[in-house]
Amino acid sequence: MQEIKNYVAANKDRFLDELFALLRFPSVSADPKYKNDVLNAANFVAQKLREAGAENVAVCPTAGYPVVYGEKIIDPTKPTVLVYGHYDVQPPDPLELWKTPPFEPTVRDGKIYARGACDDKGQFYMHVKAFELMMQTETLPCNIKFMIEGEEEVGSDNLGIFVQQNKEKLKADVILISDTSMLSMENPSLETGLRGLSYLEVEVTGPSRDLHSGVYGGAVANPITILSKMIASFHDENNHITIPGFYDDVIKLSNEEKHALNEAPFDAEAYKKDLAIDELWGEKDYSTIERTGTRPTLEVNGIWGGYIGEGAKTVLPSKASAKISMRLVPNQTSAKITELFTKHFESIAPPYVKVKVTPHHGGEPVVTPTSSAAFKAAEKAIEESFGKKPIPTRGGGSIPIVALFEKELGIKTVLMGFGLDSDALHSPNEKYDIFNYYKGIETIPLFYKYFAALSAES
């Protein structure tokens, strides 16, 4: 451990400078105007893998943005770890809410503020630097492969094809991902599952054109009003989702599981203070920890229609739209939930409007085994690094590739994230603590040490 700390201490300024260089690429996969920046970010990652000691590094083309691959095979008989991450980021909007420019990393109070600082550039780049550390100190105990993609934030649509076409190249014993969070640095944790996702867009159309709200108001249905009423009907008075069949496949936690889950430290007052809210909201009879990790949800991610520019324009709009995401739990499937939502949305549409549902992307929920050598290695690594055994938790987010890896490659995943829920992922002023960044670089080599040892025992 001391050798690890010494290497990080000797190189910490360079490690930070390299991360800042990566964060300066506005690699927004959702917006075509950033195409060159996304590609430049991919090339940067490839170059840093080469410099760290990876071989067979390639920027592999797909129908969308490329996958960056690299490897170091020290001995084919030794276990292999496949590291997954993504170099694309969410759009920075709304820009006016950022205190400093989103693609000019800025340090305030020991935290790096930039789009992608935590999700996922800061986290996957820890693995590149940890790999460099092991190469330079000649302590890499097993084989390592990297697969860093550029489309995670838009559903990883082309990654499945890449995986199917490169099964031999991607062959490994475990997948290691840092794209999740811990409870806190004082109470480290390991996520044992992720929710799935069904993401879609709805459109409500009324008249054939925008109308004068004085001339036609009261006689023609307003699509914004109708859409708002339809959305409001998705939850009942107990904040239970009203779509028929939505909960049919949900597996309820046992009393023992509920108790274990709620043993994790949770300060409701600090939670509310961080978010500047007075009260929490959610499904009745479930704790916040259960709601955010083990229960399905339906959220409106955006809604628009009519005139939203400066000043007044009195129109009755022709159309209104919304983007909706549903987080899914084990035993639910994105295809079934998308179908249930579509049928329900169409069935509740009144006759004076037309509706359209457009699915975008989805992913399946996963639960990772806690009895595997890889999970135990992660536990031991965190315990040695933090001086405290990690608490098992369930993650509320989604990483669709995890289920795909299991289906196509037959490999389980370890979710060893170092972010925090307060890091403002997908929001203005996203951040990542410098302490967490260095702590990840220190902890990851310990995972390899213990994984190699435990694999040899089994």
Q: What is the pLDDT of residues 297-351, one digit of tens each?
A: 999 999 999 999 999 999 999 999 999 999 999 999 999 999 999 999 999 999 9
- Maximum Cα–Cα distance for the chain, whole Å? 80
Q: Kindly report the pTM of this predicted structure.
A: 0.87
Quote the pLDDT of residue 139: 97
**pLDDT on residue 346:** 98
Predicted confidence (pLDDT) per residue in 39-54, tens digit: 999 999 999 999 999 9
- CA end-to-end span of the chain: 24
Cβ contacts of 273 within 8 Å, gap of 6 or more: none
For 305, the token pair is: 């229609």
Residue 238, CA distances (Å) to 80, 242, 285, 307 in order: 48, 10, 9, 33
Written as six digits, the tokens of 38 are 């996304």
pLDDT of 399 > 90? The answer is: no
- Which residue has tokens 């009895």? 371
Band of pLDDT at residue 440, cut at 50, 70 and 90:
very high
Helix (H) or strand (E) holding 96: none
pLDDT at 28 over 90: yes
